[in-house]
Structure 1
C-alpha cells in the first residue's frame, strides 16, 4: 500500500462552522486547519479521545472569537508509536498545510513530531507529553505546551517531604524519560533542603514486578517513598504497597499521575497517597465547575486532566485567532499573540513561559475517600527552568 493511501486511511476530517459575528473582518470562506495527532487506538486511546474532545469543546464554545473562520480538523491516529510520528507530522504540515498541530500524548511521539515541525510554518501545541527536551534543548518559537513538563509535578514534592519531616526517602520509577526526569526533579528540591535519597530504583518499562522492591522498602524502612508510575503500573504499585502492609506506616508520595485516572481500580490501597499535579477534578475554581458541566453535557461523561489539557489547547487557538481578528496566515504574528495569552483554565489561569511551558500552580493532593482532595498549593505559578532552551 502506498504511503499516501495509508495516510488517507488514517485521516478523519470534520468541519466546525463558527457563528459569524457582525464585527468580523475575515471572509467566511477562510478556514483554519487544525491537525490532531493523538492516539485513538491502543493503550492510550482513552487519553487521546479525551484530549480531542476537550479541544473541540473549547473551539465550539468560543466560536464567536473565530471572526467567521471555519475550523477544519484533520485527525491522525498516532497509535502512541514514535516510529509513525515523522510521517504523520509531515502529512499534516505538507499535504494539509495545518495552521495548528495538536499532539501528542506520548513523549516518544513528541520527539518525532518535533523533528519534523521545529521551526516550520505551523504551530505545534503539546496537550500532554511532558518530556523536558521538548521545551528544553529542542525548544522552538512555534512549539507550545498546554500540559506540564515532567519537572513541574515532582519538584514541589521534595519541599513537601521536607516540610513533613521526611529526611530519608526511597525513590522508584520506570527507567524511561518521564520516570528518570520525575525522580531527578524530586531529588533536586529534596536534597537541596538536606534530604537524602537512600535508594534510587529504575525498573524496565513497563514492568510491574514490584513485589521484591516493595519488600526492600519494608526492609530499609525509609521515612517516605517517592515514585512516578501511571496507568496500570500505578494501580499495581499501590496495591502491592498496601498488600505488604506499608500503607499507613511509610508515607507514599508521587507525581500526580500515580492517582490520576487510577483511583477506582486502586480502591482502598490509594487512601492517604500524596501527589502533586496541576489539576484536581474537585478543584474549587469557577472555570472548572463550568467546564465539567459543559463537558458532561456535550459528551455524557465528566472530564479528566487529559480533557483539560486539550481544552486549553483549544482555548489557546481560539484566543490567538481572536487577537489576530481571524487572520493566522502570518505565523510569527500567531506566535507573538500566543506568547502574551492568559488562559482561563479549569486548573486556574496560566500564562506561557519564555520556553512556552505553562506557568501554573501545582496542587498538593491527598486521596481521601477515593478522591484526590486538594490540601494546598504546593507551588504557586511554577515555571519550568527549561534548561538548554536557547530561544
Structure 2
C-alpha cells in the first residue's frame, strides 16, 4: 500500500523562486516562506480516530493564533503512518528530505515513533510527540529537538500506588499484555505502589494482543488480593472489563488501571466498567473553566466531543506556538526555539503543565471513577508527576 500524502497548500512564491533559479539569502527566505509542518499520524486502521483527534486539536490551537506560527503562514504535509513500524523510517524520511518540514508532529504507536525518533535524531528536525509513551524517547535516547506533550507509559500508573493504599488495598495483583507498553506501565506501578507500602503478590501477563483472560481471572480469584491493577487499552480493555465483571471479581476485588483502561471504551464495556478506578492526566469531566471552554469550542468546530487525544494534539500546538514566538518565527534559530519550549508553561484543558529536562510533561494525575459511562474525577492522585528521565543526557 503506498503512503497517502496530502499537500494541503502550496507556496507559489517558493515554487516560482525555485523554478527561476533565484537563490535568496537564507534569512530572507526563512522569514518570508511558510513554516512547513508535517503530520505523521494514523489516518487509517485501528488508531485512525486517534490520529484525526490529534490533528483536530493541533489545528484548533493554531486557529486561535490566526493560523500562523511566529507571524508566518503555514504549509501542511500529511502522511498516513498506518501504525506500521516497518514503514516508519521511510515515511519520516520522506517528510524531512522531500517535503523539508520544519517540524514533524507524530505519532500514536510507540513502534512507529521509534522510526520517527531515529530520523529526528539523525536529521535534527524538530519532532513533537503527541501520544506515543515509549520511555526511551525521553530517557536514554532523549534529544534537544524531541519533545513529548502527552505522557510516558509509566506516568499514569506511578500515581496509582498512594490512591490504592489510601483505600486500604495493601496487596495487589498486576495484569497486562506482555509487550513494551505493559512493561513500562508496570515499572511506574511497581515503584509507586511499593513506595506507598503496598505488596505486589503476583504479576500476570497475556500475550499481545490475546484477549483470552479466563484462566488468569480464575488465578486472581484464588489469590484473593485486595485489588487488581492493570494496563490494557482499546478493544482489549473493553473485553477485560466485561470478563472481569462476568467472573464476579468486581464484587469484592477493586479494579484499578492506567486511564487507558477506560478511555474511549465505556460504551463497549457497559455496566462492567462501573466503579473502576483509574489514574490519568485528563478527564472529560474536569470541572474547570479552561476545560469547559475547550470542549465547547472543539464541539462547535468539529461537531464531535474531544477526548484525551484531542487535548494532546491541542497542547502540541500550544507548545509549538510558544517555541515559534520565542524564535520570532525563525525555526533556524534553534537556541531560541528550544529555550522557549523548555521554559513553557502550557495552560491546558488538562491543567497547567511544564516540560521536564528530558522533554516530558510534568503534570497532575487525576483519580477517576467510572459512573454511568463517564470517567468522573474524584481527586488528584498525584501532583506534578514527572517521569524520571533515566539515562537522559542532552547533547
TM-score using structure 2 length: 0.92
- Partner residue of 1:376? 379
Q: Which residue of 2 aligns with 1:86?
A: 89
Go from structure 1 to structure 2 and tell me whether the alpha carbon gap of 1:152 and 1:67 turns closer, same or farther (over 3 Å shift).
closer
Which piece of structure 1 moves more, 230-239 or 53-62? 53-62
- Cα distance, 1:27 vs structure 2: 8.8
- 1:32 is aligned to 2:26: no
RMSD value over aligned CA atoms?
Answer: 1.8
Structure 2 SS opposite 1:66: coil
Give, in angstroms, the shift of residue 324 of structure 1. 2.2
Matches within 5 A, 1:193-208: 193-208=196-211
Are the aligned partners of 1:208 and 1:236 in contact in 2 as well (CA < 8 Å)? yes
**Unaligned runs of at least 5 residues, structure 1:** 18-24
Count of equivalent residues: 378
Map residues 94-113 of structure 1 onto 2, 5 A cutoff: 94-113=97-116
The CA distance in 2 between the partners of 1:346 and 1:388, in whole Å, is: 31
For 2:212, what is the secondary structure of its paired residue?
coil
Partner of 1:247, secondary structure, is helix
Instruction: Tell me the CA shift for residue 28 of structure 1.
Output: 8.0
Give the alignment partner of residue 354 of structure 1, picking from 353, 357, 365. 357
Q: What's the offset of the Cα at 1:16?
A: 10
Which secondary structure does the structure 1 equivalent of 2:159 belong to?
helix
Q: Deviations over 1:102-133 (max 9, x none)?
A: 11100011111111111533210000000111
1:67 & 1:153 partners in 2: Cα distance?
33
Equivalent of 1:333, from 332, 336, 349?
A: 336
Superposed, 1:206-221 pairs within 5 Å as 206-221=209-224
Q: State the alpha-carbon separation in 2 of the partners of residues 361 and 80 from structure 1.
A: 29
Distance (whole Å) between structure 2 residues aligned to residue 182 and residue 383 of structure 1? 14
Report SS of the residue matched to 2:251. coil
Q: Paired residue for 1:232, among 223, 231, 235?
A: 235
CA–CA separation in structure 2 for the residues paired with 1:204 and 1:67: 47
Does residue 14 in structure 1 map to residue 12 in structure 2? Answer: no
Against the structure 1 CA distance between its residues 154 and 318, is the aligned structure 2 distance closer, same or farther, given a 3 Å change threshold? same
The 1:113–1:27 alpha-carbon spacing in structure 2 relative to 1, beyond 3 Å, is closer
1:155 aligns with 2:149: no
> Cα 1:118–1:135, aligned 2, differ >3 Å: closer, same or farther?
same
Distance in 2 of aligned mates of 1:371 and 1:310? 22
Q: Where do 5+ consecutive residues of structure 2 fail to align? A: 12-27
The alignment partner of 2:221 has SS state of helix
Normalized against structure 1, the TM-score is what? 0.93
The equivalent residue for 1:274 is: 277
* d(CA) in 1 for partners of 2:232, 2:152: 16
The whole-number CA distance in structure 1 between the counterparts of 2:367 and 2:389 is 23
Q: Give the structure 2 partner of residue 21 of structure 1.
A: none
Q: CA deviation at 1:381?
A: 1.1
1:4-37 deviation per Cα after TM superposition (whole angstroms, max 9, x unaligned): xx45xx21122499xxxxxxx9998421111111
Q: Deviations over 1:193-247 (max 9, x none)?
A: 3321111112111100011111111111110000000001110000001001111
**CA 1:61–1:271 in 2, change beyond 3 Å: closer, same or farther?**
same
Deviation (angstroms), 1:311: 0.7
CA distance in 1, matches of 2:232, 2:257: 8
